[in-house]
Amino acid sequence: MLSRTADSLFWTARYLERADFLARILDSALRLTAMPAAKVGPNTWESVIASAGVAEAFYARRQTATERTVRDFLAFDPDNPSSIYSCLATARANGRAVRTALTTEMWECLNGAWNELLAMETARMSREAFTRFLEWVEQLTLVFDGSARRTMLRNDGYWFLRLGGAMERADNTARILDVKYHLLLPER
């Protein structure tokens, strides 16, 4: 296997895993903010930015972390390389570069998701529509992963995909633990 192919497969999986992580963390924040204020800390959206690992980039362009600014930055901002939009664009570009290493189902999932995203009205999406968008992102990453597990040969390409997804998941998990560790500590 060419190193370029391995690299593209690795990063395709990483970017899809990152998109899934962002969708899940945004969904969690939306659910948290729907709870009574006494049970939710005032910095829910700040912790989302910190958990995503983009605090420096976010605060360089935005003043405060509100639901709208965080949603726009993490989901739809093409200038944020870690936004869901950018993750799907980069995953598709990587998949396209190694089109012959992907199965038809995997490519159709990537390409179809990209085309659907381009057709979406994302400018002023309501909270309900945004929740449906997050569910769509979660579902498309599951379809891609399921397609890989069911249709790919267990060769080097498959294992580079799995490695990329596992690395991204480990990175995201470590970041969440770092941001939320104070909640996990026992009281003294």
The reply to whether 186 falls in a domain is no
Q: How many domains does the chain divide into?
A: 1
107-140 confidence digits (pLDDT tens):
999 999 999 999 998 877 899 999 999 999 999 9
The reply to whether 56 falls in a domain is yes
Q: What angle do CA 125, 128, 27 make, to 5 degrees?
A: 95
**Beta carbons within 8 Å of 6's beta carbon, 6+ residues apart:** 156, 157, 160
Chain centroid offset of residue 107 CA: 18
The reply to whether 173 falls in a domain is yes
The reply to whether 187 falls in a domain is no
The reply to whether 74 falls in a domain is yes
Contact 27, 134 (CB under 8 A): yes
The reply to whether 87 falls in a domain is yes
pTM, rounded to two decimals: 0.91
133-167 confidence digits (pLDDT tens):
999 999 999 999 999 999 999 999 999 999 999 99
The reply to whether 130 falls in a domain is yes
Contact 156, 6 (CB under 8 A): yes
Domain span at 65? 3-181
The reply to whether 188 falls in a domain is no
